[in-house]
Chain A
Amino acid sequence: MGNIITVENLIKRYDTYKRGSGFKDSVKSLFHREKVPVMAVNNISFSVKEGDIIGILGPNGAGKSTTIKMLTGTLYPTDGKIEVMGYNPTKDRKTYVHQIGAVFGQKSQLIWDIPPIDGFRMNKAIYGVSDQDYEERIKVMSKLFNVEEYITRPTRVLSLGERMKCEFIMAMLHQPKVVFLDEPTIGLDVIAKQKIREFILEMNKRGTTFILTTHDLEDVEQLARNVVIINHGEKVFDDSIHSLRKVLGAKKIVELTLHSPIDQLDMEGVSILERKNELSITVSVDLDIIAINDFISRLSALCDFTDISIKEMPMETIITHIYQSKKEK
C-alpha cells in the first residue's frame, strides 16, 4: 500500500515567556518578560502507509503532541511539508478535517452536562452523516465498546474509561480514513486500556489508519507496526516495532518488595538495577533469556517477597538504549 501521510523536514518553533517564580519575579514580570524561543519539533521526516498503525513515542515534552497537532491542521508548522491523503492540513482546513478523526486523551469533545448520545447527534449534523449510517455506526461501535447503557447517561457521571470510549465513538462517527490519537490511554485502568486497544485494532482491520502518540510502551507494543521515537523535538528512531524490539531486547522491569534482604539474584538474564532500600529493589529481566513465569517461579524459590510489579522499560531508558545502539553502529 502507498503512503497516506508524508512528513518532510517538519519544524515548529515558537516563543514563550519566562515569568520566574515567587512574588518578586511575579512583580518583575508585570514590566518585563524574557522571551524564550522553543524548538518544539526539529526537522522531523517520516511517512505512514495506508492501513498502518504508527506509534509516536517520546517522553513528556518531546514534541509528540505538537507533531500530531500539526498533522491534524490545528497548528501551523514553522517550516516543512505535510501531506495527508493528498491534503495539506494547513490549507483548506474544513475539507481536510472532514476526512480525519482525532482523540486527544486530555481534552474532550463530549459535553459535560448532557449524555454522549446528544453529543454524537451534534457531530452527526457537523459531519453530515445520514440517519441510516448514524444508527448503524452507533450500534456497531457501542457494541464493540460495550457502552450501550452509558451513552444515554450524562457525561459528568461517567468514569474516565467510559468517557474515553465515547470520545472514540464521537471521533469515528463519520468513518474517517485516518485517525490521530494523542495519548488515548492516559490515566486509564488496565481493563479500559485493553478495551480501547481492541477497538483500535478492530477499526484498523476495517481499514482505518491510526497515528498515536504515547509514552506508554505497552500501547505501542500491542498496537503499532511501526514506531517513530521523538526526543527533544528530534527523531531518534523510525522503524518497525520488530526493529525496536531488537534494539531494546525483550526486557521487563520488575519492582520487588522483599520479606527479608538479599545480596543478589542468581539468575541468568536478571540484573538488579536499583536498591531503594534493603527490602525494595528494581530488577531488569531479559525475556529472551528467561520467560517471565520462569522468573517468578525461580524468584519464589530464591526469596520471600511481599509485592511484585512488572513494568515496561521507562521511556528515558529506551532513548538511552537507542542512542547507545546508534553509537555502536
Chain B
Amino acid sequence: MKIKRYILIYRECVKVAFAAASTYRLNFILNCIIMLIGDILFPLITILIYGSGAGFEGWTVYEVLLIQSVFTMSMAIADMTFHGILWATMGHVRQGDLEMVLILPVDTMFLLMARTFSIDAVGLFIGGLTIFIVALSHIALPTGFMWLQFIVLFLIGLSVMMGIALLMAATSFKWVGNSRIPEIFDSIRSFGKYPQSIFPKAVLMITTLVIPVAMIGYFPATALLGQGDIKMMLILIPCIVFLILGITLYRHMVRLYQGVGG
C-alpha cells in the first residue's frame, strides 16, 4: 500500500517535471543539446586519440567507448532521478523554506528526489545508449551471465552516485552554500570513465575503495567485456557503505534542520 502510494507520488512528480520542461521548450531543447555535447565530447576525444594512432595500452577503442558510454548512461540516470536533491537541498536550506517539504506526509529525501526529476538528461541518456550500442556491436557478444553482472554493477554504480549526492546534500545543512563541493566530486568522478589499469596503484585504491567512482563506468563495462571476476564483488562493500552512509547522514541532517532552524 505504502509502495503503491509512493509510486503514485513519483508518477505525479514526473508528470510535473514534463509539464515544467514543456513550459520553456527552447530551454529544454538547448539543455538536452548542451548536456549531450558536453558529455558526448569525451567519447569523441577517445575516437580522435585512437584515430591519431595513440590509445590506452591494452584497450581497444570500442572497449574504451563502452566504459565511457556506460559512464554517460549512469550519469544521465543520476541526473534524471536523484541528482537534483543536491541543488534542491542547498536551495531550501539557504532560503530557509525546507518547511514546505517537511509539512508533507512523505519521506523528505524521497520527495526531494521525485520533485527534482529532470527530463533534460534524456538527451544525454540517448547519446550514451547510442555509443553503447555502437561499442557493443564491435566486441564479442556478452553472455547472459555477463549481462546479469553488468546490471548488478550498473545499479551499484548508481548507488555510489546516490550516496555521494546525499553526502554532499547533507553537508549543505551545516555548511550553507557549499556549491564548490559538487565540483570537486565531479572532478573525482571523471576517473570513472577511463580504464582503471592506466592509473597508478594509489589512484586505483582511491577510485575503487575510498570513493568508488570506478563502479560508475569501468566495472560494469568490464563485466560485459568478460573481464569481471569474483574480486570485483569485494568493491561492492565500499559502494553499499557509501549509500547507507549517505542516506543515514541525510536523514540525520534533516532532523538537525528541524532542531536548529529559526
Contacts and interface: CB of A to CB of B under 8 A. Distances in A.
Interface of A: 12, 14-16, 38, 40, 66, 69, 72-76, 90, 93-95, 97-98, 100, 102, 104, 107-109, 111, 113-114, 118-119, 121-128, 154
B8 A125 contact: yes
Interface in B210-262: 255, 258-262
Contacts of B23: 113-114, 154
A100 B97 CA distance: 18
A75 B258 CA distance: 4
Contacts of A16: 262
Nearest to A180: B103
Contact of B258 (A66, A76, A102, A114): A76
A42 to B, nearest CB: 14
A279 B247 CA distance: 66
A102 B260 CA distance: 20
B105 interface: yes
22 contacts: A12-B262, A38-B262, A40-B262, A69-B99, A69-B261, A72-B102, A73-B102, A74-B99, A74-B261, A76-B259, A90-B258, A98-B105, A102-B99, A104-B97, A111-B16, A122-B9, A122-B12, A122-B13, A122-B16, A123-B104, A126-B9, A154-B23
Nearest to A121: B12
Nearest to A102: B103
B158 to A, nearest CB: 25
A288 B252 CA distance: 56
Given A113-B24, A118-B15, 15 more contacts: A15-B260, A16-B262, A72-B99, A72-B103, A75-B258, A76-B259, A97-B102, A104-B97, A104-B100, A107-B99, A111-B20, A118-B16, A121-B12, A122-B12, A126-B12
A128 B5 contact: yes
Contacts of A124: 12
Contacts of B11: 125
Contact of A74 (B24, B102, B106): B102
